Amino acid sequence: MPLVTTTEMFKKAYDGGYAVGAFNVNNMEIVQGITEAAGELKSPVILQVSKGARAYANHTYLVKLVEAAVIENPEIPIALHLDHGDSFELCKSCIDGGFTSVMIDASSKSFEDNIALTKQVVEYAHAHGVVVEAELGTLAGIEDEVVVEAGHESYTRPEEVEEFVSRTGCDSLAIAIGTSHGAYKFTAAQCTRNEEGILVPPPLRFDVLEECMKKLPGFPIVLHGSSSVPQEFVKMVNQYGGNMPDAVGIPEEQLRKAATLAVCKINIDSDIRLAMTGNIRKYFAEHPDHFDPRQYLKPARQAVKDMVAHKIQYVLGSDGKA
Ligand code: G3H
Ligand code: 13P
Ligand code: ZN
């Protein structure tokens, strides 16, 4: 099947109590690792491209890599999505250039300015058969190159979501309930420590999610910043010459719970980075004489595939839903 929008995916996910994974893609090995896992598990999947990914790999290369994945995996629905679009021009360029979904992230603007920009993107996107994700509330971490310190994030205000969605016409809404971008989602001061000394983060604000769901029945909600930062990868990075103290993510069981509620799209990027970096570091340490990139990119790609397969089966619940 050709690239799809997320409309049908989200309806089935909402009704079925699961979520679709949205994984960031930056190169061929990442596209292959994700889509091989989704293909084998018969799972729908969203491949998302950030402004930084476009700057790194070039729009055309990324679109063509995704188109190749669609040809190689004809039985699963794949959507191509712009992650954190920060201007009308960037969204338009992706809409004109083959994407089936775009995010306009005007969450750092005022409520009225967020509505105005989101509405402008929605009008253009819908006229071209493309769907739009918008955002209300601010996640900690780095978004649109705006750095928000942990503790300075602002949760989505449920009393605003209905007006926002009806005035903009957006198709899905990213909300802030305590997730954040990157591999250091919480400061040590925000966490407790378990018996192994690993940081345990504060729980997500399910009360905020449930209030938003009441205001927007049946409407797909998106969670950004949803990497779990698996400690096996953090250990691997640290064991083989890296230095990532106190890297911590969102516990998988909380994401699983969100997926059974209105959350239809769960964004994962940092876990891909960790899977690749941990395995490449290990490979270099164990094979200091090797220098063929295929040798170390192969286990890195396999690690992405294994990690995505785990998410599909045990976090998202999207296996067999293609
Ligand atoms: O939310 C941000 C994503 O992880 C993309 O990150 O802008 O470094 O590609 P990036
Ligand atoms: P992570 O940094 O938690 O992987 O979040 C990725 C994301 O939200 C992309 O938009
Ligand atoms: Zn994000």
The DSSP bridge pattern shows strands 146-148 and 141-143 to be antiparallel
Rounded to the nearest angstrom, the distance between the alpha carbon of 53 and the centre of ligand 1 is 8
What residues are neighbours of ligand 3 (ion), with CB under 5 Å?
A: 224
User: Who contacts 156 (Cβ-Cβ below 8 Å, separation ≥6)?
Assistant: 136, 137, 175, 176, 177, 208, 212
User: Which of the 8 DSSP states describes residue 6?
Assistant: S
Rounded to the nearest angstrom, the distance between the alpha carbon of 267 and the centre of ligand 3 is 6
Q: What residues pair up with 267 in beta bridges, in sequence order?
A: 22
pLDDT of residue 234: 97
**What would the DSSP string read from start to end of 162-230?**
HHHHHHH--SEEEE-SS-BSSSB-S-GGG-EE-TTS-EEPPPP-HHHHHHHHHHSTT--EEE-S-----
pLDDT of residue 189: 86
Residue nearest to atom 6 of ligand 1 (CA): 50
* Nearest CA-CA partner of 318 in 271, 256, 233: 256
Whole-number percent of the chain with pLDDT over 90: 89
Q: pLDDT band for position 149 (50/70/90)?
A: low
Residue whose CB lies within 8 A of the most ligand 1 atoms, among 23, 48, 107, 181, for a mutation test: 181
Per-residue pLDDT at 256 exceeds 80: yes
- The mean pLDDT of 249-275, rounded to a whole number, is 98
Rounded CA gap, 95 and 121, in Å? 10
User: Who contacts 259 (Cβ-Cβ below 8 Å, separation ≥6)?
Assistant: 13, 17, 18, 19, 266, 315, 316, 317
What is the value of pTM for the model shown? 0.96
- The mean pLDDT of 117-128, rounded to a whole number, is 98
| 162-208 tens-digit pLDDT | 999 999 999 999 999 999 999 999 888 888 888 988 788 889 999 99
Which phi-psi region, left, alpha or beta, contains residue 182 (left: φ > 0; alpha: ψ -120 to 50)?
Answer: left
**Helices 270-286 & 231-239 angle (0-180, nearest 10):** 40
pLDDT of residue 150: 60
- The mean pLDDT of 60-72, rounded to a whole number, is 98
| Pocket around ligand 2 at a 6 A CB cut-off | 24, 83-84, 181-182, 224-227, 267-271
Residue nearest to atom 3 of ligand 1 (CA): 269
Q: pLDDT band for position 146 (50/70/90)?
A: low
Per-residue pLDDT at 11 exceeds 70: yes
Residue nearest to atom 7 of ligand 1 (CA): 52
Q: pLDDT band for position 317 (50/70/90)?
A: very high
